């Protein structure tokens, strides 16, 4: 009677790392990783040695030294006696401001232009085509300089608003002034401000100082608004669950609107919110918010330029949706605008969002062109004047690159979360 024995197991040989397909890819990856690590180590060591030969070492203590320069457009208090670190923070906030405003405006412009470019009206369609092709094929820097020149040379001077028959007048009920020095718009002050210093008493004949505001006030308002947003979102999700279970959707629009508005209105009332409009005093406007020409030019140019690319993304996303979806909606009696908002665009978002993320990232990084018109963003402060004054070009560029990297990753992460929420779910 014969017995079967298992074949002996083959022993591992070093030659298998090269010739065996089970190990070859792993071997190549390990070798490539080692070479990359050695290359990076050589670059870092070479940089340190060269800096040492020049009598320099990598230190970031320059951030604590006095900056010694002014920043014209700022969101927080700053003067030339503050540190380079605070100047960098002011520049970062300016970059975030123009990036935030630019992304919102570019999205509105791009979606509108993308939809209108598919219009059956020949004139509207061709006008949108001219806009898209015109802005996409001209360098962004030229648009920034052109808008800045138009604002500086084409707008009236503050003195033109003076006199019984002024050459220029304020708009929107004497609340907005468009001048060659920028645009002056109203601001919101708080009579019962939490963090702002109380106004000093004035003598007879002097104007009462307008109410101020502080970061604490706005943090409180934004916190309540943020909580209200999630509150109304919870109401919507609850209504969605009821509709899925029963087939009947409760009316919640008034409740959601109230959750968004009422808590914020109460906080504004308690703080004593008041609109403070700009007015002409001396040779210039005072009070309100001054949006300088540099900010306006950068914001408008970034929005119009990026909006042209977003328009093409929106147009391609809409065209990717089957025409049968529109025909089915029309067969149910839906109007064209309802069909676009409720049927076409929600499906097109799955195609639109991925390339839209890249446009937001491009807009954020293109904001570094602010240096051309004197807008003091992080490139001009930390990556410009601070480096020139301290001689710490390596440290400054490392911090500047780290800021743009972190900001880009945050934008990409937030948009990817939204992208996952609207993509098709497999059942």
**pLDDT, tens digit, 9 for 90 and up, residues 298-356:** 999 999 999 999 999 999 988 888 888 888 888 888 887 788 777 888 888 888 888 89
**Structure confidence at residue 297 (pLDDT):** 93
The per-residue pLDDT for 138 is 92
Q: Are 384 and 371 in contact (CB under 8 A)?
A: yes
Q: What whole-number distance in Å separates Cα of residue 19 and Cα of residue 285?
A: 79
pLDDT band at 7 (very low <50, low <70, confident <90, very high): low
CATH number belonging to domain 59-150+293-427: 1.10.3720.10
CATH 1.10.3720.10 range(s) for the chain read 59-150+293-427
**Of the given ranges (271-275, 307-311, 338-342, 394-398), which has the lowest mean pLDDT?**
338-342
Average pLDDT over residues 176-187: 89
Total count of residues recorded for the chain: 427
The stretch 69-97 carries a mean pLDDT of 89
> 150 or 206: which carries more pLDDT confidence?
150
Average pLDDT across the chain, whole number: 85
Question: 205: which 2 tokens?
Answer: 């004949």
Query: Which residue has better confidence, 283 or 143?
Result: 143
CA distances to 39, 41, 105, 295, 401 from 45, rounded to whole Å, are: 10, 6, 46, 41, 20
Q: What is the dihedral of CA 26, 30, 36, 39, to 10 degrees?
A: -150
How far, in Å, CA of 361 to CA of 17, rounded? 42
Q: Which of 50-64, 108-122, 273-287 has the highest mean pLDDT?
A: 108-122
- The pLDDT confidence band at residue 86, using thresholds 50, 70 and 90, is very high
pLDDT band of residue 393 (cuts 50, 70, 90) is confident
pLDDT score of 51 more than 80: no
Backbone angles phi, psi at 281, to 5 degrees: -140, 115
Q: Is the dihedral of CA 402, 406, 411, 413 positive or negative?
A: positive
Position 396 pLDDT exceeds 70 = yes
Beta bridge partners of 290: 184
pLDDT value for 196: 63
Return the pLDDT at 279.
86
Under the banding of pLDDT at 50, 70 and 90, the label for residue 206 is low
Q: What is the pLDDT averaged over residues 271-291?
A: 85
């Amino acid at each position: 009677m014969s017995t079967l024995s298992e074949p002996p197991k083959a022993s591992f040989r070093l030659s298998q790392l090269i010739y065996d397909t089970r190990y070859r890819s792993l071997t190549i990856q390990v070798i490539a990783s080692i070479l990359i690590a050695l290359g990076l180590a050589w670059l870092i060591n070479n940089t340190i040695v060269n800096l040492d030969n020049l009598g320099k070492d990598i230190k970031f203590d320059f951030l604590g030294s006095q900056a010694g320069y002014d920043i014209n457009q700022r969101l927080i208090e700053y003067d030339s006696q503050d540190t380079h670190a605070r100047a960098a923070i002011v520049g970062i906030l300016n970059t975030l401001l123009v990036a935030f405003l630019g992304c919102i405006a570019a999205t509105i412009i791009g979606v509108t232009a993308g939809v209108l470019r598919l219009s059956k009206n020949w004139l509207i369609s061709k006008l949108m085509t001219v806009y898209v092709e015109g802005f996409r094929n001209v360098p962004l820097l030229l648009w920034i300089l052109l808008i800045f020149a138009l604002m500086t040379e084409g707008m009236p001077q503050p003195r033109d608003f003076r006199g019984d028959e002024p050459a220029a007048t304020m708009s929107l009920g004497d609340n907005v002034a468009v001048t060659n020095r920028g645009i002056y718009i109203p601001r919101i002050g708080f009579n019962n401000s939490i963090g702002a210093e109380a106004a000093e008493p004035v003598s007879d004949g002097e104007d009462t100082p307008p109410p101020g505001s502080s970061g604490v006030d706005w943090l409180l308002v934004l916190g309540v608004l943020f909580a209200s947003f999630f509150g109304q979102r919870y109401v919507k999700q609850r209504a969605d669950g009821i509709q899925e279970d029963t087939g009947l959707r409760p009316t919640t629009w008034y409740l959601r609107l109230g959750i968004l508005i009422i808590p914020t209105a109460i906080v504004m009332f308690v703080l004593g919110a008041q609109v403070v409009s700009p007015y002409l005093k001396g040779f210039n406007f005072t009070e309100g918010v001054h949006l300088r020409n540099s900010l306006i030019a950068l914001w408008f140019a970034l929005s119009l330029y990026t909006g042209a690319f977003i328009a093409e993304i929106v147009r391609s996303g809409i065209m990717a949706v089957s025409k049968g979806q529109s025909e089915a909606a029309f067969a149910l009696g839906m109007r064209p605008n309802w069909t676009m908002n409720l049927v076409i665009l929600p499906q097109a978002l799955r195609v639109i969002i991925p390339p839209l993320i890249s446009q937001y990232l491009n807009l954020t990084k293109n904001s570094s062109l602010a240096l051309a018109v004197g807008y003091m963003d992080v490139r001009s402060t930390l990556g410009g004047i601070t480096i020139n004054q301290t001689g710490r070009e390596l440290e400054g560029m490392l911090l500047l690159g780290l800021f743009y990297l972190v900001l880009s990753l945050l934008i990409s992460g937030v948009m990817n979360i939204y992208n996952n929420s609207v993509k098709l779910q497999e059942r």
